Amino acid sequence: MIMLEKSFGLMFFMRKPKNSLNGSYPIYLRITVDGKASELSTKRKCHTSSWNAKTGRSIGNKETTKELNHFLDALSQQVYQAKRRLIEGDKELTSDSIKRNLTGTDEEKRTIIEVFTKHNQQLKALEGTEFARNTVKRYATTLEHTKSFLKWKYGTENLDIKKLDHETIAEFDFWLKGIQKCNHNSTMKYLSNFKKIVLICVKNKWLLSDPFANFKFTKKPVQRLALTEHELNAIAIKNFKNERLQNVRDIFIFSCYTGLSYADVQKLRSDELNIGIDKNLWIFTNRQKTGTSTRMPLMPEALAIVEKYKGHPKCIVSGLLLPVLSNQKMNSYLKEIADSCGIEKPITFHIARHTFATTVTLSHGVPIETVSKILGHSSIKQTQHYAKLTDNKVSDDINQLITKRSQRV
């Protein structure tokens, strides 16, 4: 219920303190609503000879006089803004409530770390159902970066939400790149995570404006590596005496022929393989990163690996399709595998997904719409960015064009 005042007024006046001898008195602000007044100090002083009690302003042309009057004018505007906030917030309007709103004592003080921590706790509680493990981990890392930045910038690991502004964001951007040595795209990801927390504050009206309003998020194009057909075959046919290397190689090849990411291969269960529309064995799963559905028939290379690990002890006990190690261990063994196959590219497990998109599918004429659906992308644009056509595909297409043109002559 909005409480409308019968009368409203504000005025500045001086009050003589005890033992004052020089004639310079402190200035106070009096706010009156419905005949009831509240007073607060402006923390400014003025000499009695320069004060006009009727206008509540200092008299004269000195720079100090102009600065004082400008400050009092600005404070008056803040009183009207506090009054408006109370009315818009459907809160009780009294001289005391205006005073509390003006001084910020009517609201519970909130800090950015407090809001960020609560957000991450809720994220963690929904891990595995609503959010992927990597998402939870990324926000935890962003929180730690935020604490370190605030320590560097303000000398504290926390900050009142109301102090967030564009300068804070610009300085955070610099700190991530210049001090933390993050690359540009990683910096944009961390700032994007931080923006989500800031927008929570804006939506709850704990922060009046968005400090990201004039900040531009840009991403630099990344060269996406993929194995060539020769490199893929070299890894596939290599004979490894070490069983662990053999397992890692097989799981990597499985991903190269299914397009599944590490997180999706790691959680893939035996019961997610079923007979599809063509009477062949299909994968029916949901991507952990986005939750989107992925359905695809198993290619012979992937099917052979499934058959190979049917009786693996870890798979039998867990119900998982393949005995996947941690991402860190998988990548460590993949470096060893690449070295033994004479491949100089820095191979990680994620290259398997790129290899599927380019070398295995698009380069062999599989329509981009089909590849997009298999990869679980929400739009073709995402696939176009993800899977660039290889030189071999371009070469094949141009040679076919040349052949067709020569046949017409």
Statement: residue 391 has pLDDT above 70: no
pTM strictly above 0.85: no
Q: How far is Cα 201 from Cα 212, in angstroms, rounded to an integer? A: 12
Domain architecture of the chain: domains with CATH? 8-103 (no CATH), 112-203 (1.10.150), 229-398 (1.10.443.10)
Q: How far is CA 356 from CA 1, 227, 255, 282, 374, in A?
A: 62, 9, 8, 16, 10
What is the model's pLDDT at position 106?
63
What is the model's pLDDT at position 390?
53
Tell me the per-residue pLDDT of 328-365, one tens digit each, with 9 for 90 and over: 999 999 999 999 999 988 899 999 988 998 888 888 88
Shortest CA distance to 148 belongs to which of 124, 119, 121, 116?
A: 116
Q: Which residues of 371-384 are buried (b: 16+ CB within 10 A; e: fewer)?
A: bbbbbbbeeeeebe
Average pLDDT taken over every residue of the chain: 87
Structure tokens at 144: 């730690």
User: How many residues in total does the chain contain?
Assistant: 409
In the chain, what are the helix, strand and coil shares in percent, each to the nearest 5? 55, 15, 35
| pLDDT, average across residues 178-188 | 94
Contact 79, 42 (CB under 8 A): no
